[in-house]
Structures are given as structure tokens and as C-alpha cells.
Amino acid sequence: MATSGAGDGCSSLNGIVSEIEQKQFTNLPAELLEYILCFPVLKHVDICNVSCSCKRLHDVCHGRGKVWGHQYKLRWPRLQKHYRQNECCDWLKEYRTRHTVGVQIRRTVVSISQRFFTEVPCVGQVLGDSFAEIESLGAPEHFCEDELLSILNSDRRKSLTLKYYAKKILYFLRQKNILRSLKMFLEQPSEQQSALEGAVLVDQYCNPLADVSYDGISSQLEEITDKINKMLRIKNPSHPSLRVTQGDCFAVDDFDLQRQVVVTLNAVLYEQLQYKGNECDYYNPLNSYIHQVLLRRTGIPISLSVLYMTLARKLGVQLEPVNFPNHFLLRWCQQQRGSGDIYDFVYIDAFGKGKQLTAKECEYLIGHQVTADYYNAISTTEVLLRMVGNLLNIGKRGEGNEKSYQLLRDSLDLYLTINPDNVQYLLLQARLYFHLGIWPEKVLDILQHIQALDPSQHGAVGYLVQHTLEHIQHKKHPVEPEVKRRSAPEHLELQYSVGLIMKHKRSGYNCAIYGWDPKCTMSQEWITTMRVHQLSSGANQPFYNVLVQDGTCRYAAQENLEPHSAPLEIAHPEVGRYFSEFHDSHYVANEELQTRYPEDMAETLGTVQDLYHRLMPSSVQQESPNGPEGPSQENQDSQENQDSQENQDTMPT
């Protein structure tokens, strides 16, 4: 009895002490409680639990207070640029919305892999229904982008399929926003349109995942302007350009002073900074992207002219763009009040290190005479059409791979945004989508628009309409994917499996296997062209679909492949479409690929064990911090991912 009484007394005492401690804690000033609850070790789940414990702490953790503001900034630091410093808002509401958007984005990304593995992924087509639900949330698009960036910045070797589609969605979202900005830009009065700003928008649309901004480009041009001013100050300390503050618009009227600017600009740009025209690799699309021109200090006539013209105007010299055939130029008027006579201008070749030409000398550049119309100044819109037209031609000259198709699609989007009624390019866009097997409904819309603009195109339009309708009908009855089991009698000659890292014996390239056939399935023409008959087993041997380190996809004979002695990751853009993870010495097929090759992963694991792990010293193989029955690394990773997902799915209420 005594023991029991002592226990009851101790329990009561603990209850009293605990109550006293709680009262002492909740009696602390609100500022101190906020400070304590903002400790980095506390997560949003902890704050939810604390706020439910009593009214005092619930009031301290109110939605607009510091505690939830801290939690929001701690979890999503990239979003802080979208808020003003010390901005007061409902952080709990922002947290909930951002969390909900994140969950929905991940569901969308996963569903794309499941639904579109067998098709050419066209994200614009895929996202129609999926993003309707996200848009109904009324959340800012930067929430969507932040979640996609979170996926892309996770463990480099894991979640490869998730990252593959997240990257495509981010590409699509950014392009959609850039296209909206371009339309707003084109609606401005022509005198307010800047060729540099337009060129940056073109650059951003073709490189939506790159860190390209108008402010960043302008900042780099300001640095070049400062170098020009520094040299100009040595030549003429009283030059009026030196008295202008950044952002001011002005014009130098005196021709001698203008000439000093142009001479100094040439000296800095071409002699000091070594800018030049890219004669060796003229048709490289990087020559048309302003951020790459600044980075590589090389370009083509039009991109260098945009930089040259922008720098000259910053220093008070008004130059005009000239749409000269085959060689873009700038013109510099030598008359006080302007002139319509082509011989009253000096023509500047920015590609040719700022060389100044007469009208007659311009014709020597292209080797034939032209009419006076070609010497006229053009608008910013026409500059952009010329720039995009160059990219379009590069895309048409491409090798028919994904990269050239993407450039062709992007440049067509830009061109038809600027000039939406160009029948020639509308027809090209419809043919491109039809060829790639994407967006059949949009193809029909384009063809209808073409027919309205030019009824004479009914022959080409009718052909495409018929075959597009057949494609739509075919998609309603999809063919079940072929399942290949290596245990089947006809597959007994197979030596390798999906996910292995291989080396080509003859060509020397590294690659990863993502598919196979028991015999060569290519056409007789391909077999002849690739000289398959010269192989010891010819076409009558297994052939493998491989992702090559150089970004290509190839079809390789079994006798030409061997397991890589030191397997490394394959830097191929399509890796994530087929594999979910790189695991030390091999790739792990994602669910979709495993469905098609259900017996390959077990074979791959066995091959990897025989090839690589048996070569390791026995002491290394036996070494384990958890003993022989401790959890494997895969189980630990799985548990970490599960914990992460649980954290992701826990929303404050």
C-alpha cells in the first residue's frame, strides 16, 4: 500500500510540475514563442501539432504570423523572389496552396509516363486535361514551376523517369509564358519595340530551360558600354556620351562625335573583346541566340548587328537595321535631316568587324546587284522574322533527329506568332505534326485555317485531313504493346538484357540497352546500307536498341557489343523515358519498360553480379555496418523515399 501511495503521489507531482511548466511556456511573450517555434529543427507537422495543443499557441501560430512565414520560406526558398521584403500575407494559405499544387504536379508527371510511353511525347498535347485541374486551383504558375524544379534538383541518379517528364512539362510551361510575352511585345507601337528585347524573347523560347533574361543580357551590354566609355574618355574627355546616365535616350548630332563612338565601339568589340563572325560553323543555331553570342563572342550577321545597334544607340548613334539579302547590315545616315537616297548612308557590316561600306560595296558581299528597296530600314518585327527564319532554315537542314525537330517546331511557333497567316509555314507546321504523329486535333485546326486563307491549297489540305482523321481513329483503338520474354524458345540466343552498360567493339562508343529483337527487324535497304551481311552472323542474330553517349539511338548487332569494363552513366536525353534509376553499374528499367521486358531485370542483376561484384575483394563484399542481416542500401533508399513522400503528402489543416 505504501509503495502504491508513493507512486500515486509521484504521478500527481509530475502532473503538477508538467502543468506548471506548460503554463510557464505559454506565458512567455509572443515574440519569444515565435522565435522558439522558428527553430530550423521544427517542421510543418510539428507546427500543426503545437498549434492544436492550446488556444495560446494556436494564436501564436496564426496564418499571417512569423511562424508559418518561416515554414514557407524554409521549405520553398526559391519562391521568395515572388514576394516583397517583409510582405504580410496569409502564409498558411500560401503553404497549403503550394503543397496542393505540388501533389497534383507529381500525379500529372507520373500519369504522363504511364499513358504516353509508346508515343512521341508532345507535352502540349498531353497536358490539356491534366492542367485543367491545376488551373482550377487558381494558383500562380510559379508554384507549378517550383515543384518541377524540386523534382529536377533531386538525387541525380534517381527518379529519372519523373525528371524526364518534369523537364518536358517545365519546357512547355515556360514556352507558353514566353509566347504570351512575345504577343504583348508585338502589340506595342513599333517605335517602342527594342530589337534586343525581341531577340531575347526568341532566345528564351528556343532555350526555355536556360537562365536567360532581358535584365541579364542588358547588364552584360552595360559592361561593354562601360568599356567603350572608358576608351572614349581617353580620346575625348568632353564627349557628350560620357555625361549620359544609364537608361537615358539621347542622340549625338555632330558627325565627328558620332564617328568617335563608332571607331571606339569597333576597337572594344572586335579588338579588345575579340568578337567575330562565325565563318567556320555558320549554321549552328547557337549563333542566333543572344546569350550564346555574348558567351562565345561569335555570331552571324543579324545577331551581331542587334548587339552592335544596341550598343551604338546607348552611346547616342542611331543605326537602322537593313534586310539585305544573304547578309544582314546596319545603315548610318550621313545627312543631318535624314535622307531617302541610299547613297547618303554608310553601311556597317557587324559580321565583318564593323567594316563600313558604300551602297555599291554592299553588292560585292553577295556577288550581284539588288534594287534600292533592299537598302531600306526595316522594323523590329521584320528583324525578328529574319532571325526566326534563319532558325527555321537550320531546322529544315537538320538530320531528322529530335533536336532538329524541336528547333523546327520552336521556330515555326515563333514565326507564326509574328506572322500568323503565312500559308507556307502553316502547311509546314501541319506536315511536321502529322509526320511526328502528334497533336492530330491541332493539325485539323491548322488545315482549316489554311483552307480559309488560300482555297487553292485544297489538294494538300485534303490529303492531310484524310490521313489525320485515320490517325485519330487509330488512336481510339490502341494496339497492346508486345511483351518479350527471354525464356521463349526463339530468344535463346540472347546474351544481354535491358539496362546493361555496353561498349561497341568497332565504333568504341558507350551505350545502354533499352530494347532487343531476336533477329534484325530493319528493312533490307537498311541492312544493305549498314553492311550487316559482312557480320559473321549477319542479320540472323539478336539486335539491341541502345542509347549512345553522343545522344543518338542506334541498333547494334550482338556480336558488336560487349559489357563495359567500368560502366558509367550514359548522358542521353532519353534515358529517363526508359529507366527510373542508375544503380552503380546498370540502369533500372521503369515500370513501362519492365512491362515489355518482364524477365530482363532479373537477368540484368545476375549479369551485373557475375561481371562486376565477383571482381570485388571479399573483404569489401562482406563489409556491412549492419551485419550480415542488416538492411540493404536499396531498402534504406526505399525507406528514405517513403519518408519523403509521407512528408510531401502531409498537409497542414
| C-alpha distance from residue 114 to each of 168, 415, 440 (Å) | 15, 33, 20
CB atoms within 10 A of CB 272: 13
Under DSSP, is residue 468 helix (H, G, I), strand (E, B) or coil?
helix
Q: What is the largest CA-CA distance in the chain?
A: 119
Residue 1 confidence (pLDDT):
41
Confidence class for position 506, pLDDT limits 50, 70, 90: very high
Mean pLDDT of 423-448: 90
266 vs 354: CA distance, rounded Å: 6
Residue 650 confidence (pLDDT):
44
Dihedral angle computed from the Cα positions of residues 411, 414, 419 and 421, in that order, rounded to the nearest 10 degrees: 70
Taking a C-beta distance cutoff of 8 angstroms, is the pair 160, 579 a contact? yes
Local structure of residue 560 (DSSP, 8 states): G
265 vs 310: CA distance, rounded Å: 11
Between these two residues, 22 and 203, which has the higher pLDDT value? 203
Torsion-angle region of residue 346: left (phi > 0), alpha (psi -120 to 50) or beta?
beta
Give the residue from 405, 590, 394, 603 showing the smallest Cα distance to 494: 603
- The C-alpha cell of 262 is what? 563608332
Give the residue from 190, 181, 152, 186 showing the smallest Cα distance to 168: 152
The pLDDT mean for the chain works out to 86
Q: Is pLDDT of 130 > 60?
A: no
pLDDT in tens, 94-127: 999 999 989 988 888 888 877 777 655 555 555 5
494 vs 471: CA distance, rounded Å: 35
Give the residue from 165, 103, 92 showing the smallest Cα distance to 652: 92
Torsion-angle region of residue 382: left (phi > 0), alpha (psi -120 to 50) or beta?
alpha
Mean pLDDT of 283-292: 97
Under DSSP, is residue 224 helix (H, G, I), strand (E, B) or coil?
helix
Taking a C-beta distance cutoff of 8 angstroms, is the pair 245, 334 a contact? no
Residue 382 confidence (pLDDT):
97
Which position has the grid cell 502589340? 187
Q: Is pLDDT of 9 > 50?
A: no
Which strand (E) or helix (H) includes residue 501?
strand 501-504
449 vs 457: CA distance, rounded Å: 11
Q: Is pLDDT of 628 > 60?
A: no
- The C-alpha cell of 328 is what? 544582314
Q: Is pLDDT of 324 > 90?
A: yes
600 vs 99: CA distance, rounded Å: 38
Under DSSP, is residue 513 helix (H, G, I), strand (E, B) or coil?
strand
Dihedral sign of CA atoms 106, 110, 115, 117 in order: positive
Above pLDDT 70, what percent of the chain? 86
Please state the length of the chain: 653
Pairing of strands 579-583, 561-563: unpaired
Q: Is pLDDT of 174 > 80?
A: yes
Least confident among 192-196, 403-407, 445-449, 463-467: 403-407
The number of helix segments (H) and strand segments (E) in the chain equals 26, 13
Give the residue from 636, 589, 582 showing the smallest Cα distance to 155: 582
Q: Is pLDDT of 12 > 50?
A: no
Mean pLDDT of 148-153: 93
Q: Is pLDDT of 413 > 70?
A: yes
Give the residue from 308, 317, 469 showing the smallest Cα distance to 383: 308
Confidence class for position 19, pLDDT limits 50, 70, 90: low
Which position has the grid cell 556480336? 559
pLDDT in tens, 232-258: 999 999 999 988 776 667 788 899 999
Q: Where are the domains of the chain?
A: 92-187, 192-385, 420-476, 500-613
Radius of gyration for the chain, computed over Cα atoms and rounded to the nearest angstrom: 32
Above pLDDT 90, what percent of the chain? 65
Q: How many CA atoms lie within 13 A of 215 on its CB side?
A: 1
Residue 356 confidence (pLDDT):
96
Mean pLDDT of 635-647: 42
Give the residue from 355, 302, 346, 347 showing the smallest Cα distance to 196: 302
488 vs 461: CA distance, rounded Å: 47
